[in-house]
Structure 1
Amino acid sequence: MASFFPAMQIWLQKELINSISQISTSHIFFQKAIQFAIIIVVASVIVTIFTELAKIIYQKIKIKMQYKLKKKLLQKSGSLSLIQFEDSRIYDQLGIADEGLNKNVMDVINSLLLIVQQISSLIVVYGLLSSISWYIPLVLIAASIPGMIFLIISKNQQFKITLFTLPQGREAEYLARLITRREAAKEIRIFNLSGYLIDQWSRIILAINPLFIRQAIKESRNRVLGATILQASMLLISLVLIFSMDRGHLTIGDYVALIAAVATVQGIFGIISMHVGLIYEMSMYVNKLFDFFDINIDDNISAENESVKDDMNFDKIQVDNITFRFPDREEKILDKVSLTINKGETIAIVGKNGAGKSTLVNCILGLYKTEGGQIFYGDTPLSEIPLLKLHQMITVVFQDFVKYQMTFKQNIALGNIEHLDNESNIISISEQVGISGLVNSLENGINTRIGKEFGGTELSGGQWQKLAIARAMARSAEILILDEPTASLDPLSELEVFDHFRDLSKGKTTLIIAHRLGPVRHADRILVMDNGQIIESGTHDELIDVNGEYAKMYNSQAKWYSTNTNNENEKQLSAF
């Protein structure tokens, strides 16, 4: 109906004007004028109602589509490997994909439908125009094409600039987040960094803004040129109609109707051009969204392997001559590393920062794919084990643990989400890690939201770390990974937590990454890493006797212990 309304409105207005111009000759024309005026108003209201109903239906479909695409984007992001998140290009792709989400497929479909509707209106209006002169529609078409071409060129250039400035734009957003978020607020104020960070942000923004300004100027110039060509055609057609009136071929109503038809055609071409440009622009963004969906992921992340049993048992973890380096880097992070970890053994991995300790553990966990060599769980190569199945056997406390801005209960239950509603278990775990007093102090107990981001209760660094430890304890797993798990705790709390770890690790295969050597003295074996290789291996006593790198590190820390008021606590920790 909306497609035929412009032509119908032009015809009704023509009849209304002709009736008004002849009112003085007969009362019939007065009645006709009233009727045409009423019909115009009623038709306008009906078209408005149908248009708004169509918008409501479109919005409902768009919202559902937006939800499904966003969910798919999140699922895709969740399925990417850890090594892919080490690549900054992934963040660029994710950023442009998120932009493609805002310009989703429904917008493209909506623009296509509007173009079809406008073309339908155009055909009907052209019928009116061609009844006067066959070349008037051709002139309008020819005059509208340059503007459409200019628009497509502008959209293409705009998209290229957006892609080109993505990395700089992400850096500017990062700097803005530093200034506006709580995480960096203390350091920014203590070191008086606000002015410096704003200057860095300004430098980036002022560098990329001229690109967008120049592009905006080009677009404006193209629009002016396209509009000038269109208005020139309007002038030509107006002169043709004036000459036709002068010869008595047209009534005043015909003239007004035909001028309105020409203006309508111009408006329709403007709408068509705009939506062609939008489709071109949106299709480029949507293509990037689907390119992100098509990113290859590690096949064994979720793949099923019938040869791997559900109760996957292993008697050892064998690391056989593995090498690892990050993509696009020459430097080897791990260089031909081999070791055997027997089931139930407690292994400590120590060494300087950058020695490869965490990278080795990430390879053993399947989070990083090795460049050479193999890792076996029992007789099964890691590459044949679905990672989801493997990770069900593992619990972990990372040094850079996540501070989930959720409830206290969720912060613990995320370690074993199936037991989210087992509140007695949550309370029991809280008691084990020594934060039951914290639970009692919270306004809504374990259902209190934690963290300031959404107005919850903020915790100290040590309390957050104990929550992370509790989260690891929520899962009954065969393998326990401790990556500097007590870095934020004082010695007394560290002693208490390691007591719990000792209980938790009984009968489990345990890997401890540590800088403080007191807690790892009684590990079954201690591996010393340097430059991506294991340079020493043995018990504490064996490594002290060798008097190598481990002995040097231990004696260096022992000197610190001897001047520390908590020396006794450190000695007790060594019992772990």
Structure 2
Amino acid sequence: MILEKRVYTIFDLIKLSFKVAPTLAVVILVSRLMVALSGPALIVVTAHFINTSLAVVNEAVSPEQMVLPIVVLGLLSFLRQVVNVSNKYIKSKFLIQTRLSYRVELVEKRGKLAYRYIEDPDTYDLIKRITDSADTQIIDQYQNVLSLIDITIQVAGILIILLVNVWLVAPIIVLFSAPAFYFGAKAGKTVYEAERDVSKVERKAVYLAEVSSGRDAVLERTLFGYGDKVTRELWNRFEYVRVHKQAARKKTDTQLAISGMLTVVTAGSVMLVLLQPVATQLISVGLFISLTTASISLSNTLGGWLPNVLSKFTKDVEFLKELSQFAQLEEVEDALLSPHSTDFIFEKLVFKQVSFTYPGTEKKILDNVSFEIKPGKHYALVGENGAGKTTVIKLLTGQYLNYKGDILLNGKELKEYSSSDLKSVFSIAYQDFAKYQLSIRENIEIGDLESTTDDRLFKAISDFKLTDLINKLPKGVETSLGKITEDGVDLSGGQWQRIALARTIMNPAPIKILDEPTAALDPMSESRLYEQFEQIMEHTTSLFISHRLGSIKLADEILVFDKGTIIEQGRHTSLMAQKGKYALMYQSQLEWYKKDESEVKADA
């Protein structure tokens, strides 16, 4: 288990890598340490090489003395080159391992999250920030930490050499290096905060980019000519992001410039201080040249590489704070499990004075709602948009459990059922049903992956009048839908809806729910499809949700919702006789059906 419910600290920048790919993490660590230690070694070897060269020139030693320093210098250079090349290969292997383990856990965690997080914009942005960069985040964090270790070893190596030879120079490096670390870290925090603040705007900009150029909206984009307006809005959002990031960048550039100036002063000071020891022969010429060269290199490192690494390191620390928040988000038990049972026997469902308010709001969406659902009956929830109909479904399926009152399923409080238990009870066709870019067979069989047979599949296809369509396709039920594959086929809205309904009845759950999945159809087409569904689901418990009343006249019980309460209840005929809200709504919609009926007759 890589992802844990706890607060992540800076030590996790290393520990996570060892959890994802322990062997590769060790290889990277050893190779990077070898390169880091080779830096101070190069100073000593280079000094020895220069001193030996001068001695050979002065005929103080034989030329054979040059062999060893040349060989060592060559080996150190070769080692650094090999490590740099191999690290690219190791990183690619590391990324593959990340996708196989860490990313899978993040996806599973996301799938287990309580539904309220998906509907909360701030939490959803947090989820996106954590999961979108999962592939590269861990290895980049690890490499950044190792880069800091690398720099630390280089600085420490030079300090040790100086302390041994010219101790006065060491405090100078420490004095000027500390601000470089400070400003580099401050710059990283500034950049991360800026990126976090504009993440919402960036997400909307990405969506607008898809609207302005994507395939799904191409017809309406052409018809209504809104392309220019969307492009301007897209430009405004990208400009907002650019301005805010640029402001953060200016701030960080100032901080990094100060850091760079200090490191240049450091290198200059080191060289000046070393002039007197080399003049008095306290240190050799070779060590002087080697140390001054190393100081210049260190200046470049502290002025350029260090602030960049520290900036990334600080961003990584800020990321860990959000990873801690993400890891501790509440999960739904058994959310990813298949239905607990395929033979759940439904006896009765009772709503008893149920009230509900969405988290973070004060308005009651449901207010003391009570009703009862019995097996084998057809029920309909009707009312205007926002009356609370879909919220009932969210409560029934356990998406929200913070309701007041009682929801009793077979006499047992709904909150006592696990998520996998509830999957055994309800099969739902939503208004925004999924259009899977898979084969027709797979689109329908998703409804019951455990016990689907060809007989059940083709019966569902026949029940929803899809046989003729499928027979005309070159690959029949194996035909791919959508445009991911070259031979993919697009369906009409009505055909997609029939696929979704077929998927719903494939599921063995005893209660079938239709949450306005046919809202895109004209009233008469919707009414016919609902009547067809009622016939197919005869003697099966079903629950229809609609604001179109002509579709649900045959329901055994109609519940009329208004502002979160049930104001009327009964069959169509009795509700019409009451001449209340239902009757007024039905009369106002009656013209739709008369018009559609006359058009059908005219076409005939």
With normalisation by structure 2, the TM-score equals 0.85
Distance in 2 (alpha carbons) for counterparts of 1:180 and 1:29: 74
Q: Which segment is superposed worse, 13-22 or 545-554? A: 13-22
Q: Deviations over 1:207-242 (max 9, x none)?
A: 342222122122222222112111112212212223
> 1:523 is matched with which residue: 555, 558, 564?
555
Cα deviation, residue 415, structure 1: 1.0
Q: 1:560/1:310 Cα in 2 relative to 1: closer, same or farther (>3 Å)? A: closer
Matched, 1:133 2:166: yes
> 1:283 is matched with which residue: 317, 322, 328?
317
Distance in 1 (alpha carbons) for counterparts of 2:238 and 2:139: 32
Percent identical among aligned pairs is 26
SS in 2 for 1:450: coil
Cα deviation, residue 100, structure 1: 5.9
What is the correspondence of 1:547-558 to structure 2 with a 5 Å cutoff?
A: 547-558=579-590
Cα deviation, residue 489, structure 1: 4.5
User: Which amino acid counterpart does residue 44 of structure 1 have in structure 2?
Assistant: S
Matched, 1:393 2:425: yes
- Cross-structure match for 1:483: 515
> 2:494 is matched with which residue: 453, 462, 467?
462
Cα deviation, residue 482, structure 1: 1.5
Matched, 1:297 2:328: no
- Cross-structure match for 1:449: 480
- Cross-structure match for 2:533: 501
Structure 1 contact 100–282 (Cα < 8 Å) conserved:
no
Q: Deviations over 1:189-220 (max 9, x none)?
A: 22221121222222233234222212212222
Cα deviation, residue 49, structure 1: 2.4
Distance in 2 (alpha carbons) for counterparts of 1:247 and 1:485: 91
Distance in 2 (alpha carbons) for counterparts of 1:290 and 1:423: 47
Structure 1 contact 14–256 (Cα < 8 Å) conserved:
yes
How many residues in Structure 1 have an aligned counterpart in Structure 2? 566
Structure 1 contact 104–286 (Cα < 8 Å) conserved:
no
Distance in 1 (alpha carbons) for counterparts of 2:56 and 2:117: 78
User: Which amino acid counterpart does residue 108 of structure 2 have in structure 1?
Assistant: Q
Distance in 1 (alpha carbons) for counterparts of 2:600 and 2:202: 52
Q: 1:89/1:32 Cα in 2 relative to 1: closer, same or farther (>3 Å)? A: same
Matched, 1:564 2:596: yes
Q: 1:81/1:336 Cα in 2 relative to 1: closer, same or farther (>3 Å)? A: same
- Cross-structure match for 1:345: 377
Q: Deviations over 1:318-369 (max 9, x none)?
A: 1111112222222222111111111111111222222222222322332333
Q: Deviations over 1:284-318 (max 9, x none)?
A: 113212311211235685899xxx99854342111
Q: 1:568/1:345 Cα in 2 relative to 1: closer, same or farther (>3 Å)? A: farther
Distance in 2 (alpha carbons) for counterparts of 1:519 and 1:568: 17
Structure 2 contact 444–502 (Cα < 8 Å) conserved:
yes
Matched, 1:430 2:464: no
Task: Give 4+ residue runs of structure 1 displaced > 6 Å after superposition.
Answer: 490-493
SS in 1 for 2:596: coil
User: Which amino acid counterpart does residue 543 of structure 2 have in structure 1?
Assistant: L
What is the correspondence of 1:221-260 to structure 2 with a 5 Å cutoff?
A: 221-260=254-293
User: Which amino acid counterpart does residue 209 of structure 1 have in structure 2?
Assistant: R
Distance in 2 (alpha carbons) for counterparts of 1:550 and 1:496: 20
- Cross-structure match for 2:186: 153
Distance in 2 (alpha carbons) for counterparts of 1:301 and 1:472: 19
Structure 1 contact 356–529 (Cα < 8 Å) conserved:
yes
Cα deviation, residue 143, structure 1: 1.0
Matched, 1:94 2:127: yes
User: Which amino acid counterpart does residue 446 of structure 1 have in structure 2?
Assistant: V
User: Which amino acid counterpart does residue 282 of structure 1 have in structure 2?
Assistant: D
- Cross-structure match for 1:574: none
Matched, 1:2 2:35: yes
Q: Which segment is superposed worse, 491-500 or 351-360? A: 491-500
SS in 1 for 2:316: helix
Q: 1:367/1:249 Cα in 2 relative to 1: closer, same or farther (>3 Å)? A: closer
What is the correspondence of 1:47-62 to structure 2 with a 5 Å cutoff?
A: 47-53=80-86, 56-57=89-90, 59-62=92-95
SS in 2 for 1:134: coil
> 1:439 is matched with which residue: 444, 448, 470?
470
Structure 1 contact 234–262 (Cα < 8 Å) conserved:
yes
Cα deviation, residue 379, structure 1: 0.9
Distance in 2 (alpha carbons) for counterparts of 1:468 and 1:309: 22
Q: Deviations over 1:515-570 (max 9, x none)?
A: 3333322211112221111111111111121122222222333333333345889x
Distance in 2 (alpha carbons) for counterparts of 1:119 and 1:229: 17
Q: 1:100/1:135 Cα in 2 relative to 1: closer, same or farther (>3 Å)? A: farther
Q: Which runs of 5+ in 1 are unaligned?
A: 570-576
Structure 2 contact 35–80 (Cα < 8 Å) conserved:
yes
Distance in 2 (alpha carbons) for counterparts of 1:58 and 1:303: 34
Structure 1 contact 245–255 (Cα < 8 Å) conserved:
yes
Distance in 2 (alpha carbons) for counterparts of 1:512 and 1:467: 18
User: Which amino acid counterpart does residue 278 of structure 1 have in structure 2?
Assistant: K
Cα deviation, residue 57, structure 1: 4.1
Cα deviation, residue 269, structure 1: 4.5
Distance in 2 (alpha carbons) for counterparts of 1:11 and 1:300: 62
User: Which amino acid counterpart does residue 445 of structure 1 have in structure 2?
Assistant: G
User: Which amino acid counterpart does residue 437 of structure 1 have in structure 2?
Assistant: D
User: Which amino acid counterpart does residue 317 of structure 2 have in structure 1?
Assistant: S
Q: Deviations over 1:412-443 (max 9, x none)?
A: 111112247x4554344223222223323334
- Cross-structure match for 2:435: 403
SS in 1 for 2:364: coil
With normalisation by structure 1, the TM-score equals 0.89
Distance in 2 (alpha carbons) for counterparts of 1:216 and 1:500: 62
Structure 1 contact 103–282 (Cα < 8 Å) conserved:
no
Cα deviation, residue 134, structure 1: 0.2
Distance in 1 (alpha carbons) for counterparts of 2:356 and 2:599: 39
RMSD over aligned Cα atoms: 3.1
Q: Which segment is superposed worse, 73-82 or 558-567? A: 558-567
What is the correspondence of 1:255-266 to structure 2 with a 5 Å cutoff?
A: 255-266=288-299
SS in 2 for 1:141: helix
- Cross-structure match for 2:30: none
Distance in 1 (alpha carbons) for counterparts of 2:590 and 2:197: 54
Structure 1 contact 19–29 (Cα < 8 Å) conserved:
no
Q: Deviations over 1:97-140 (max 9, x none)?
A: 23563563443333333433443444433333223310212211
Structure 1 contact 439–446 (Cα < 8 Å) conserved:
yes
